[in-house]
Amino acid sequence: MENTKNTKLLELTLLLASMLTILANAIIAPLAGRLLDKTGRIKVLYISLLIYLLAGTSGFWLGNLFSILLGRTIFGLGVAGIMTVSTTLIGDYFTGAKREHFMGLQGAFVALGGLVFITAAGVLTNINWRLAFLIYGFSAIVMVLVPFALHEPEITHHETKAQTQNRIAIPPVVWLVFISAFITTVSFYTIPVQLPFFLQKLEGINGNKMGLALGSMPFSQAIASYFYKQVKRRLDFVSIYSLGFIPMAMGFLVIGFSQTYWQAVAGVLLIGLGVGTLIPNGNLWMINLVPVQVRGKYVGFLTTATFFGMFISPIIIQSIQNLVGINSSFIVLGVALAVLSVLYLFIRERVATSN
């Protein structure tokens, strides 16, 4: 019994420590968004890329664990800034169908990038664990490309305070965008956090199979994101959320009832299809809703909702697991997402959506 208590305390401590980094990202994202609108997108992008480069690679050259953990916390600030700037610039540079297409491409590249870099990090870790931190040096290439490829959008800031207050009206439906992004992230992060514990209960599961199962989600996620533009041509934003929750619900139910490894992988693939549809949907909805003068600010808020979802996801899932067990917790999530899918159909009738 004592060993069980110690294990639970260990797990809780590790989860809380992990969440501290995510919480820092959530706090900094609104500040990054405001800076975008006040000082310009490209300046914030440069600063974020520099933080990403220096803090990301710091684990290679720092000498002790405390300084490495501090570097990881600072690294998160760079990630938050890059996420906010890149999504905002898509809204600045593109409109209409081109914006829808590029938002889907962004989602696909994010998913595939995660898969490629995680695989590369695994290979480098087998050689020397410090080498994995050099992966973040890729940001140096992006920094070199920025002055040649990107330009500061022309946004008029020379307005009186009264004109700005009168002209910029933010529709209340932005709160639905924040809530939807939060729900998506809470569900999404259940897989990397909880799936390894679930798979350990199955026979014959080694590290390679564990990696394949986790890697299957960004694969299906990238496919769904790539085809997002076709979905958006036919459906409004709220309907896409209702649609996207369906494969996620099915995936969690499949995992919860699965008895074999490949059944669990099939569930993960289904979840990836839903996530790959919903992430670009939330980003596109936000940049379509808000005026360009405050776009950075509200994309920053959306990034905050995303990071807060990462922060709270382990708490929610662990609480459910403590009540019903690990298998049933996936089933509970599946049922909840199925209910949400129906609920969003009712919401669709009550809100005005931007298409």
Cβ pair 20, 74 in contact under 8 A: no
Query: In 191-207, which positions are buried (b, 16+ CB within 10 angstroms) versus exposed (e)?
Result: bebbbeebbeeeeebee
DSSP state of 1: -
Whether residue 325 has pLDDT greater than 70: yes
**Whole-number percent of the chain with pLDDT over 90:** 35
Task: Tell me the CATH number at 110.
Answer: 1.20.1250.20
Question: Which domain does 247 fall in, by range?
Answer: 17-150+172-348
Could you tell me if residue 4 is inside a domain?
no
- Mean pLDDT over each residue of the chain, to the nearest integer: 84
Whether residue 130 has pLDDT greater than 70: yes
Rounded Cα–Cα distance for residues 114 and 119 (Å): 8
Could you tell me if residue 12 is inside a domain?
no
Rounded Cα–Cα distance for residues 13 and 10 (Å): 5
Tokens of 307: 């990071």
Better-predicted residue by pLDDT, 63 or 301: 301
Could you tell me if residue 183 is inside a domain?
yes
- Range 51-64 average pLDDT: 86
Cβ pair 337, 249 in contact under 8 A: yes
Cβ pair 328, 150 in contact under 8 A: no
Whether residue 215 has pLDDT greater than 90: no
Position 2 scores a pLDDT of 43
Could you tell me if residue 7 is inside a domain?
no
Number of domains in the chain: 1
Quick: pLDDT tens for 241-252: 999 999 999 999
Whether residue 1 has pLDDT greater than 70: no
> Residues near 265 by Cβ (< 8 Å), separated by ≥ 6?
212, 213, 216
Could you tell me if residue 306 is inside a domain?
yes
Question: How many other CB atoms sit within 10 Å of the CB of residue 229?
Answer: 19
For residue 26, what pLDDT band results from cuts at 50, 70 and 90? low
Verdict on whether the full-model pTM lies above 0.95: no
